[in-house]
Amino acid sequence: MSATPSLGAAQTQTLHEILEAHRGMEGALLPILHAVQAAFGHVPEAALPIIAQDQAISRAEAHGVMSFYHDFRTEPAGRTVLKLCRAEACQSVGADALADHAREKLGIDWHETTANGTVTLEPVFCLGLCACGPAAMVNGKLVGRADAAKLDAILEEVR
């Protein structure tokens, strides 16, 4: 069994502050994982045993929960996370072609990050922008009626 890399002192302190802020909360694990990811950009492997101990669950359970949800990542994402909707309403207005364009332009597939670490491409199943698709989200910013030109402009900006 390989040793889990440990957290640095600052990260450990942040983690304990997060755990303290969620003390006494019913069903705190998801809010904790969200807070950890917001603080660190991902959920470091070394954080899981500490979270598990705090929540009085096994490390396997903590891993099971984290790995169940698409949102939580084990590695940091690129500086820009581009999410493209793949759901039916967006497909009916050309989301597939737009996704092909993005993958070709970036030279990566879904869930991958460009070699220079700038862009991570993620599929998303519905942003609730179904009457103005294709829909995209760029670092949390919503984009409606996305097309190749809009996407190229966004990618140019974040390069």
Partner 1 sequence: MKLYVPLDSAAVALGADDVAAAIRAEADRRGLDLTLVRNGSRGMVWLEPLVELETDAGRMAFGPMTPADVPALFDNPEGHTRALGLTEALPWMARQTRLTFARVGVTDPLSLADYEAHGGLRGLKRALTMTPAQVVQEVTESGLRGRGGAGFPTGIKWKTVHDAPAAQKYIVCNADEGDSATFADRMLMEGDPLTLIEGMAIAGIAVGATRGYVYTRSEYPVAIEMMRQAIAVARAAGVLGARVLGSDHAFDMEVRVGAGAYVCGEETSLLNSLEGKRGVVRAKPPLPALQGFMGQPTVVNNVISLASVPVILDKGAAFYQDFGLGRSRGTMALQLAGNVKHGGLFEAAFGLSLGEIVNDIGGGTASGRPVKAVQVGGPLGAWFPPALFDTPFTYEDFAAKDGLIGHAGLTVADDSLDMLAMARFAMEFCAIESCGKCTPCRIGAVRGVETLDRVAAGDASALPLLTDLCNTMKAGSLCALGGFTPYPVMSAVTHFPDDFARAREAAE
Q: Is the dihedral of CA 62, 65, 67, 69 positive or negative?
A: negative
End-to-end CA distance of the chain: 39
Q: What does the per-residue mask of binding to partner 1 show for 37-66, with x meaning CB under 8 A?
A: ------------------x--------xx-
**Contact of 60 with 101, CB cutoff 8 Å:** no
Indicate which single residue of 6, 8, 13, 31 sits in contact with partner 1 (rule: CB under 8 A). Answer: 31
Indicate which single residue of 140, 149, 156, 157 sits in contact with partner 1 (rule: CB under 8 A). Answer: 140
Indicate which single residue of 3, 20, 23, 27 sits in contact with partner 1 (rule: CB under 8 A). Answer: 27
Q: How far apart are CA 154 and CA 139, in angstroms?
A: 11
**Contact of 118 with 79, CB cutoff 8 Å:** yes
**Contact of 33 with 43, CB cutoff 8 Å:** yes
Residue 69 interacting with partner 1 (CB under 8 A):
yes
Residue 144 interacting with partner 1 (CB under 8 A):
yes
Residue 107 interacting with partner 1 (CB under 8 A):
no
Q: By the criterion CB under 8 A, which residues form the site for partner 1?
A: 26-31, 33-34, 55, 64-65, 68-72, 87-93, 124-133, 135, 137, 140, 142-145
